[in-house]
């Protein structure tokens, strides 16, 4: 005998919670989707895992995310492909995942998106030269918008989506919200060093704090994005999370250092080659920043349980 949904009595129950034993329809399961594990099916009542009932005839429908990220899968066939990608990444070693990350910014002809972004920044530079106030406005606008895009990259990646997301829509955070997600962690990282060096005149301590802050900066960026709270980007949140997975986290720091070195090389090459050199520098900057955000998302995707911000309830 087919059971009815606990919430919608007129609908067939397609899912049954293994924890509280209640049954729900597909719509209830979609609404209860966990943004940090969109493939999992969560109970709307107790957040336990749900399994399909034996008499269910409906096709799986992808859960909608509860953040400003489009659903990464739609329909039964696409859901199967997403589950396969999810499983493949979980089976790979962390080193193999990192090796494959370098192709991410240009995968599936996505290089053109970076070209468009370069054009926007060249326009901002031109405006800064001829109309400083207007140029400054556009520079802040573009910076905030691309911060929003970088956040979208992290969120998509940590949900198992290995393709570049579409350009984000404007949301209630506007431009300044995403910008602060990056500015505040940076201030937390370098602020103690500046205070120690210039206020207390202790340059040795300041240098130590600077390197320590830069090491923990990637985790502070990740905490601000994942926890959706700018104030979460502080050492009290980031350091314990990093200590839970020290080896993999240091490899993320290493990737950030590598990106910085490659950017400096591109600046050295492009600084004396005129307009084309400027284009090279901006393209390298965008490519490496996209790569760094992708690595952050991969890190959370691979080690979310160990990081401990949203432990598995099961």
- pLDDT of the residue at 71: 37
Tokens of 76: 């039964």
Q: pLDDT over 70 for what percent of the chain?
A: 81
Q: What is the pLDDT of residue 2?
A: 65
pLDDT of 223: 92
Between residues 39 and 239, the one the model is more confident about: 239
Task: Return the domain boundaries, the chain.
Answer: 15-88, 93-307
Per-residue pLDDT at 33: 66
- Tell me the C-alpha distance between 259 and 292, whole Å: 7
Strand partners, 24: 15
Q: How many residues are recorded in the chain?
A: 314
Q: Let me know: does 179 contact 139? Beta carbons within 8 Å.
A: no
The DSSP code for 15 is: E
Residue 215: pLDDT above 90? yes
Q: Give the contacts of 62 (CB within 8 A, at least 6 positions apart).
A: 30, 38, 71, 72, 73, 74, 75, 78, 79, 82
In order, the DSSP letters of 132-158 are: HHHHHHHHHHHHHHHHHHHHHHHHHHH
Q: What are 129-148's pLDDT values in tens digits?
A: 777 777 778 778 888 888 88
Q: Among residues 115, 120, 94, 95, which one has the least CA distance to residue 105?
A: 115
pLDDT of residue 81: 40
**Per-residue pLDDT, 34:** 52
User: Full-prediction pTM beyond 0.75?
Assistant: no
Q: Mean per-residue pLDDT for 250-274?
A: 89
Q: Which residues neighbour 75 within 8 Å (Cβ) at sequence distance 6 or greater?
A: 59, 61, 62
pLDDT in tens, 59-109: 433 333 333 333 333 333 333 344 445 556 667 788 888 888 898 888 766
pLDDT, residue 246, reads 95
Mean pLDDT of the 46-54 span? 75
Cα distance between residue 236 and residue 217, in whole Å: 12
The three-state secondary structure class of 16 is strand
Mean pLDDT across the stretch 25-29? 84
Residue 221: what pLDDT? 94
The pLDDT tens digits of the residues spanning 143-199 come to: 888 888 899 899 888 888 877 887 776 654 577 888 888 998 999 889 888 898 888
* pLDDT of amino acid 86: 56
pLDDT at 55: 58
Half-sphere exposure of 286 (CA within 13 A, CB side): 25
Contact between 263 and 284 under an 8 Å Cβ cutoff? The reply is yes
- Which two structure tokens, joined as six digits, stand for 200? 């207390």
**How many separate helices (H) and strands (E) can be counted in the chain?**
10, 3
Are 66 and 35 in contact by the 8 Å Cβ rule? The answer is yes
Question: Whole-number mean pLDDT of the chain?
Answer: 78
Using a pLDDT cut of 90, give the percent of the chain over it. Answer: 18
Taking residue 292's Cβ as centre, other Cβ atoms within 10 Å add up to 22
> Can you say whether the dihedral through the CA atoms of 231, 179, 133, 284 is positive or negative?
positive
At residue 18 the predicted structure's pLDDT band, cuts being 50, 70 and 90, is confident
Pair of tokens at residue 246 = 């020290």
Give bridge partners of residue 50 from the DSSP assignment: 17
* pLDDT value at residue 146: 86
Cα–Cα distance for residue pair 251/296, rounded to 1 Å? 11
What are the CA-CA distances from residue 20 to residues 9, 29, 35, 104 (Å)? 18, 14, 21, 41
């Amino acid at each position: 005998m087919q059971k009815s949904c606990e919430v919608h009595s007129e609908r067939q129950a397609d899912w049954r919670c293994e924890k509280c034993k209640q049954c729900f329809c597909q719509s209830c399961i979609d609404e209860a989707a966990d943004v940090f594990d969109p493939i999992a099916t969560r109970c709307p009542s107790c957040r336990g895992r749900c399994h399909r009932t034996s008499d269910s005839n409906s096709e799986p429908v992808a859960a909608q995310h509860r953040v400003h990220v489009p659903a990464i899968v739609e329909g039964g066939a696409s859901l199967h492909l997403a589950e396969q990608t999810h499983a493949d990444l979980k089976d790979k070693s962390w080193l193999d995942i990192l090796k494959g990350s370098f192709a991410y910014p240009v995968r599936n002809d996505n290089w053109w998106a970076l070209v468009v972004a370069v054009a926007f920044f060249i326009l901002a530079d031109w405006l800064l030269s001829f109309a400083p106030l207007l140029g400054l406005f556009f520079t802040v606008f573009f910076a905030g918008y691309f911060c929003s895009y970088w956040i979208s990259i992290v969120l998509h990646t940590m949900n198992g989506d290995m393709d570049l997301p579409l350009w984000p829509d404007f949301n209630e955070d506007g431009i300044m919200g995403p910008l602060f997600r990056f500015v505040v962690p940076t201030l937390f990282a370098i602020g103690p060093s500046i205070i120690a060096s210039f206020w207390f005149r202790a340059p040795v301590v300041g240098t130590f704090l600077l390197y320590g802050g830069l090491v923990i900066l990637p985790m502070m960026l990740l905490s601000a994005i994942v926890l959706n709270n700018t104030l979460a980007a502080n050492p009290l949140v980031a350091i314990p999370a990093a200590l839970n997975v020290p080896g993999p986290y240091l490899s993320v720091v290493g990737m950030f250092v590598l990106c910085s070195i490659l950017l400096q090389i591109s600046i050295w090459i492009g600084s004396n080659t005129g307009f084309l050199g400027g284009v090279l520098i901006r393209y390298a900057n965008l490519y490496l920043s996209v790569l760094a955000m992708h690595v952050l998302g991969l890190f959370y995707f691979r080690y979310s349980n160990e990081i401990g911000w949203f432990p598995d309830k099961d």
